[in-house]
Structure formats: C-alpha cells, structure tokens
Copies of this chain bind each other. A is one copy, B any other.
Amino acid sequence: MIKNYPPQASENEILERSVFFISDGTAITAEVLGHAVLSQFPITITSYTLPFVTNKARAEEIKDQINTLYQQTQIRPLVFYSIISAEVKNIITQSEGFCQDIVQTLVAPLQQEIGLEPKPELHRTHGLSKKNLSQYDARIAAIDYALAHDDGISLRNLDQAQVIILGVSRCGKTPTSLYLAMQFGIQAANYPFTADDMDNIRLPAALIPYQHKLFGLTISPERLSAIREERRENSRYASLRQCRIEIAEVEALFRQNKINYLNTTNYSVEEISAKIIDGMGLKRRMF
C-alpha cells in the first residue's frame, strides 16, 4: 500500500472510489446494502455489479479486474460481496480490493446467540425453491391482480383486494399497487378520480361495501402539475389550476368519508407502500 493512504481530498474536491458488488446470485442485496453504506460518505462512486459469480474462472477474471484498477489508480476498489462457495469467495478476498462480506458479517455474531451452525447452502436470497414456490406463485398472482384492477379497469373481485388505493391521475396509484404486489405479495386495486368526477364527486357505489379497504393518495398541486406536464404538455389536464381543483375535491371526499390518506409529494413508492401497509395493518410477506 502506498504512503499517506487513503488519499485525502483537497478542499472542494469530492473523493471518487470504485466499487464492486459481487454475488453468486442476483447481487441485488449487495447493491442495495452497499449503496446504503456508501451513501453515508461524501464520495462519488463508479460501480460495477457482477452477479452469478459461481465458479473459480469467473472469480479470477474479476480479481484481475479489481487488481488492474488498483494498479492504475493506486486506490483500493471497495468490494461488497456475498458468495457461498469458499473457493470462489477466497479468490475475491485475495484481490487488492477492500472486501466486505455483507451477509457473513451479520451471521457470525448470530451463531453464538442462536447456538447453531449456519448452513449457507440453505439460502438463495432471490431464488426459487420447492419450499417457496407457492409463495412465489401468490406473488405473481398479486401482480396479475394489480394489473387487472389498475386504474379502475375492473371493479369486480374487490373482495379479494387487501387494499383499494384512490386518488387523482398521476398521484402514484399504479406504481404503488405494483410495488405492493411485487415486494410484498399484497393484492392492491386502484381507482382514479378524473376531471369528469369533479362536479359531483362521490365514492362509486361499487366501492362502498369495501370502505375499510380504502386508502387515499394525495400530492401537492405543483408536483402533480409537473408530472402531468411530462405526459401532456400545456394541457388543461396538466394546468396548476386543474390540479388544484382535483386535489381539493378529492381530499374533501377523503375527509368526508373518513378515508385514511397520505400526501405522496416527498415519498418514493417504497415509502408510500410501507406507509400503506402500516396504516392498514397489512401483513408484510417476504420473498
């Protein structure tokens, strides 16, 4: 290693680091966790994601890639990995990278607490097995359900919905319904209020029996107008005035009908979904 390592950023300069996310599976967990860890540091990263690294030859190629980068830059690449095979893993950890095993780091302390040997081969984070196949099929069924009940297309089979999301066009109903299905296997329908509803806004008769399943989304008129502009530039639909009217009407409806609702302006689909699950007391299933 060179002297005065690690390199220090001079003023107004942001450090750059190369990062490898390496896994014998999809590498999705390595990416998500690695980003969570790295985002705590004021650095910019250039990242390389290498999934399905299951044999020694591939691991050797990656080791060479890491070492070449180190030789060129004299800065150790950061490596977040999750690999079960000891042989494959050892090749990666013998590279010049700064290597962290994202799963094993947490497994080791648990071993003593649980009092059992870990068996890494049991696991494939995002894999299919006989054990989880019926759960997986339920998740795919939830995606089908969300698509069949998107945007009020069908108001049938609402007894099968775990939540029915309400709101104006482009406030986040569809991505949220799909995320609830994809991540949590939750069956979500959604229903839009349109400009035509505004003169005499009320809950459709088909939704009234399911009042306990309703959850409203709202959004700031400014953000809604910006989103709608992307879709239909300079339209009445996208105008701030129209957005203000629709949101005021729909929020009033939510309040009158005592429907729990959330302002999505500053939230991602992950956050909106987690808040709906929390607000409705739904069970989060894991896949």
- A contact set with B: CB distance below 8 Å: 6-9, 15, 17, 25-29, 31-33, 35-43, 47, 49, 51-52, 76, 78, 80, 82, 98, 100, 102-103, 105-107, 109-110, 113-116, 118-120, 122-123, 125-128, 136-137, 140-141, 143, 147, 150, 174-175, 178-179, 182-183, 227, 230, 266-271, 273-275, 277-278, 284, 286-287
Contacts and interface: CB of A to CB of B under 8 A. Distances in A.
B103 A15 contact: no
A271 to B, nearest CB: 6
| Chain multiplicity (copies) | 2
A122 B175 CA distance: 26
Given A78-B113, A113-B76, A182-B175, A103 B270 contact: no
Contacts of A113: 6, 76, 78, 98
Nearest to A286: B35
A250 to B, nearest CB: 20
A275 B127 CA distance: 13
Contact of A15 (B29, B116, B126, B178): B116
A140 B173 CA distance: 11
Contacts of A39: 122-123, 125
A91 to B, nearest CB: 19
A33 B33 contact: yes
A17 B270 contact: no
